[in-house]
Chains A and B, each alone.
Chain A
Amino acid sequence: MTTYLSFLGPLAPRSTIALARLGVIAALIALIVFGALRYDNFLSSYNALSFLRYNSMFALIALGMALVIMTGGIDLSVGGTAAMASVVAAIFSPYHWAAGLAGGLAAGLVVGIINGVVITRLKIQPFIATLAAMLAAYGTGLLLAGNQSVSVSYDSGFTEIGQGDFLGFPIPAWIALAFYIAGWIALERHPVGRRVLAIGDGEATAKLMGLKVEKTLMGVYITSGLCAGMAGVILAAQFGAGQPTEGVGWELFAIASVVVGGTLLTGGVGSIGATLAGALLLAMVFNILNFENGLGWISLSAYWQSVIRGLFLLAVVILQAKIAGARANG
């Protein structure tokens, strides 16, 4: 019987996406090796720790963005949300460090809920809904801050969230790590992860299979809002001020990290670990550019860095399209 059914067997080899994910990790290692050989101090604990401290924020918003993109959506509001959250956190920081933390997270939660409601109840395209939320979040942040940065309290211990260490590692890195572990468990081991990916595979189908699509999407946008809120708290704590004008372009950095991590922009396929690798890879490119500047042979302005970032992303997306094409023909 089995032999007569053999023609029903698999048509294609195991996902080439998995190979692409290994590629990201290989590229990350290659860049680290390259940096270590080329620059003094590249592997110094100072560089390593400040690298982790600074980039934890970006890793966090990439995590939320990854979950959103896996459902086939997009969240453009993360940068604005982070900026607003940093202001709210700064305003609440004098009362207690936890008040600052809670305030920032609450700000992210509110934006996430609004995004979720607008997208699932009012059936507005995520692109439009979160674009509106981005503008509103920036505006709210500027209003609350009175159009300037808001200094945080240095007495309540709030700044420890951004500047402190625990067991020799920066607290922001621990926070990001905790979020990523929770995200990994949710996506890979908890039923909700199957739901997220199935929705990205096809929303109508997911509904026909009896999945609670709207509830899941709601949760995903709230998670993205919370991640952005947490990034905002770290931003305020690290730089000692709520920064209503920060966060511009963060959503693009997050999308880039997610895409580099092999998550398909069309949804349905994605990995938490590879998202982290993608975020670290992009950050590493910058780190190397900074060192290259430091050598003094070339001088790359921030503008040039932006151009290089764009080209890098384009290369990755082209690669992804090729892989998807190979899969379709496989």
Chain B
Amino acid sequence: MLLSMKAIDKSFSGVRVLNAASLEVEPGEVMALVGQNGAGKSTMIKILTGAYSRDAGSVTFQGREVHFSSTADSQSAGIATIYQEINLAPNRTVAENIFLAREPRTAFGLVDRRKMRAEARAVLKRFNLDIDVERPLENFGAATRQMVAIARGVTQNAKLVIMDEATSSLDEREVAVLFETVRTLKRDGVATIFISHRLDELYAICDRVTVMRDGRTVAVSAMKDIKKLELVRTMLGKELTAFTAAQRNREEADGATLVEAKNLSAGVRVRDVSLAIGKGEIAGLAGLLGSGRTETARLIYAADRRDGGTLSVGGRQTAYAQPADAIADGIGFVSEDRKVEGIVPEMSVRENLTLAILPRLQKSGIVDRARQQEIVERYIKALGVKCASPEQPIRELSGGNQQKVLLARWLCMNPRLLIVDEPTRGIDVGAKAEILKLLRGLADEGLSVLMISSELEELIAAADHVTVLSDGRSVARIPAAELSEERLMVAMAHQDGEAA
């Protein structure tokens, strides 16, 4: 046994978040750790890495009882953690990032740069990564950065690598590369704890799975012995009827087109994109990272200026100069990055929800509190936002509920088109299904939705049709009836005969 966490208890200000939870990992195995948001996964990991202390229970690592008091502590003991937000220094070179704080030294105590370079190259080579280690890390994409983070862990003689949502910002091809790295680690006897919201990934790479719910460990199983539906059921702790699809219970589209974009282009990211969205439709936008999905949405929203192409909304040619014009014309945009472009963490649910509509709520320059209150209560109820009160700071809400507030922010503006970029990123399975259902309900009421997503199963479940981008061009438009992961992936890879 490499790691054994037993009967771990942890409470925060009287609220019990871990209740006799356990987690065991064998040397060289890939252990999935799953659970909804709030199940206690991240608390468990933080206790393991020394970021938190435990109230009760024991942690045994490599046969010895351990009490790590900081992440530096657990690192030197052989536990490396790779986070979703990559915790490396972007302006430093690849080699420096691998060896920061442990640089090889010359006889004079200075950095032995030649040795550092050579060792950095050697360790990356093990992962089949042949890059210029003298370049700043920010020059590389997310997958490379994550592999550099892993390389850093490996050079610290890590026996256990924790990947906490490490794949959530990677596209499928990059995930494949990362998995290859995990397999390399496995061959060297290094164990991995793998946390991901994407269930398919667990089946692809993990040997066993530990399921947590409400602060307890509720199941441990070999990955091959547990069916996907069973796994979801264990995570949610209830019979799950409809994760797979927000049902399409609406009649066929009436054919009216709301948005028609033709041959949009801007810079190198968007070369030639055409798409059409009908009234009351959910249009999916798929493609690998860097294929121009978000950039296309930003053109429609006028967040960026387009070089060429035409855009008509509601039958009229438009040339919005800035997002404010697009908003005024009934277009809403829920950004992919809730934390940076979306919520104002310190503000209350009420303030966050009415941020965009505030100018319309003014009566002689002063916010009409009664109307504001009414709107807030209406949407909290309609979207099922779980919060203690509208005055609760939004940062205290779960990711799914934050996302609902952001949706509400735009919905109260009565938009015609709502653009949602990765609407379920970092949200647990239950809330995911709820968000998708919500979007479907809105579409049924006549709202048009443009949904960008990296999760194919989500597009298949929710979209009426999916436009696939590849390298800045729209290469396919697949109607709902023909949607399958296979079909989407073939189009995204843009191989023979798949041109639009």
Contact = CB atoms under 8 A, between A and B. Distances in A.
B105 A191 contact: yes
Given A191-B103, A191-B105, A195-B101, A208 B111 contact: no
B135 A2 contact: no
The 6 closest A-B pairs by CB, nearest first: A201-B89, A210-B72, A198-B89, A10-B139, A268-B91, A189-B110
A8 B143 contact: yes
22 contacts: A2-B128, A2-B130, A8-B131, A8-B143, A8-B147, A10-B140, A12-B138, A189-B110, A190-B110, A194-B100, A201-B90, A201-B92, A202-B87, A204-B87, A208-B87, A209-B88, A209-B89, A209-B152, A210-B76, A211-B101, A268-B89, A268-B91
A11 B177 contact: no
Contact of A209 (B100, B109, B129, B174): B100
A8 B105 CA distance: 30
A7 B91 contact: no
B173 interface: yes
B36 interface: no
B101 A197 contact: no
Contacts of A8: 129, 131, 140-141, 143-144, 147, 174, 177
A5 B100 contact: no
Contact of A194 (B103, B128, B152): B103
A8 to B, nearest CB: 4
Interface in A194-243: 194-195, 197-198, 200-202, 204-212
Given A185-B110, A205-B89, 14 more contacts: A8-B140, A10-B139, A12-B139, A194-B100, A200-B91, A201-B89, A201-B91, A202-B87, A205-B87, A206-B100, A208-B81, A268-B90, A268-B91, A269-B91
A190 B135 contact: no
A122 interface: no
A197 B129 CA distance: 25
A202 B89 contact: yes
A198 B130 contact: no
A189 B89 contact: no
Interface string B22-46: 0000000000000000000000000
B119 to A, nearest CB: 15
Contact of A10 (B105, B113, B131): B131
A200 to B, nearest CB: 8
A9 interface: yes
Interface residues of B, number: 38
A1 interface: yes
Interface of B: 71-72, 75-76, 81, 87-92, 96, 100-101, 103, 105, 109-111, 113, 128-132, 135-136, 138-141, 143-144, 147, 152, 173-174, 177
Contacts of B140: 8-11
B88 to A, nearest CB: 7
A93 B71 CA distance: 50
B177 A5 contact: yes
Contacts of A208: 71, 81, 87
Contacts of A45: none
Contacts of B135: 10, 14
B110 A209 contact: no
Contacts of B128: 1-2, 5
Given A8-B141, A9-B131, A210 B101 contact: yes
Contacts of B91: 197, 200-201, 268-269
B177 to A, nearest CB: 7
Contacts of A1: 128
Nearest to A186: B110
Contacts of A44: none
A90 B3 CA distance: 64
Which has the most chain A C-beta neighbours within 10 Å: B131, B136, B141? B136
Interface in A139-197: 185, 189-191, 194-195, 197
A192 to B, nearest CB: 10
A158 B459 CA distance: 78
Contacts of A2: 128, 130
A11 B136 CA distance: 11
Interface string A315-330: 0000000000000000
A240 B398 CA distance: 66
Contacts of A9: 131, 140
